[in-house]
Amino acid sequence: MTAASFIAKAENPAVYSKPQVTLRFCYEDKQLLPYYAGNSSAVPANPGATIEHLQQTMAEIGISLTLVRMPWLRCLQQLADNQVDALVAAYTPEREHYTVYPRDDDGNADPSKAINTNALCLAHRFDTELSAKIADSAAVLTIARPHGYRPLPLPEHAVLVGAHSPEQALELVVSGRVDATTVTCQLNGLAANRQEIDTLPLEILQPPVYFSVGYLMFSKQFYQQYPAIAESVWQVLPKTLNRDRYLEYLAYPQGF
């Protein structure tokens, strides 16, 4: 070792000791704009706002990012088995035993270190009185939601109808086969809705029926190996959030 390199190591040991880390991130192989684009295991050139957000964050921290696409429930299982390192999900108690997420001083999930926030509203045909149907507990209220999505706190008399995708859920509403579906109406604190909503005979019912906070959740194994890196990622994610980019992806409902 030269004298110059010895001095550099002494002054900045992290240059020599920083591990070469690759984060294996798993996400759904179905399009879910604005977060993920494309309906396959391949990653398109314009991959979605969440993927771009992660790519920028990892570049700032200096670790590699490997993207893995598969059905959502498999992503969750792979994280539990430590076969992938991270995914984005809302906090739920049932995920506590196999995920590590940012916590505040009280030990609760910390929304200040979230990767994104999202509010859902009900979308319905313009010629239906959805508010009246919600208020009438004797009525049958049908709401379409894609298969695999977690249950929401909807009215007790609501009947959920499965759909293969958000697009099919919208089609069920437009055709009159169901009363409503859930759509994004707020994104990272900004008013938002998919552009195609404006071209359909639909209205969005305010206020939102559900507010969700998305966290980058690590596997137990990854966090145990690289706790400082995981904490750094959570610190940087809010700083690299580009709200406009999320909205731009909403304007391209058919993908790129």
pLDDT at 19: 65
CA distances (Å), origin 156, targets 159, 177, 212: 8, 20, 20
Whole-angstrom distance, CA of residue 256 vs CA of residue 247 = 14
pLDDT at 195: 66
Give φ, ψ of 87 to 5 degrees.
Answer: -155, 170
pLDDT at 150: 75
pLDDT at 255: 42
Give φ, ψ of 209 to 5 degrees.
Answer: -95, -10
pLDDT at 66: 98
pLDDT tens per residue, the chain (256 residues)? 444 443 444 444 444 345 689 999 999 998 888 999 999 999 999 999 999 999 999 999 999 999 999 999 999 999 999 999 999 999 999 999 999 999 999 999 999 999 999 999 999 999 999 999 999 999 999 999 988 777 788 888 999 999 988 889 999 999 999 999 999 899 999 988 766 677 889 999 999 999 999 999 999 999 999 999 999 999 999 999 999 999 999 877 554 4
Whether the Cβ atoms of residue 201 and residue 174 lie closer than 8 Å to each other: yes
pTM: 0.80
The dotted CATH code for 21-115+213-250 is 3.40.190.10
| The two domains 21-115+213-250 and 117-212 share their CATH topology (first three levels equal) | yes
Neighbouring residues of 17: CB distance < 8 A, sequence distance ≥ 6: none
Range 117-212: architecture per CATH: 3-Layer(aba) Sandwich (3.40)
Domain ranges of the chain: 21-115+213-250, 117-212
pLDDT at 180: 96
pLDDT at 56: 97
Tokens read off for 61: 């921290």
CA angle 26, 27, 31 (to 5 degrees): 160
- Spell out the alpha helix ranges (H) of the chain: 3-11, 14-17, 49-61, 72-80, 130-135, 166-174, 220-225, 227-236, 243-250
pLDDT at 196: 67
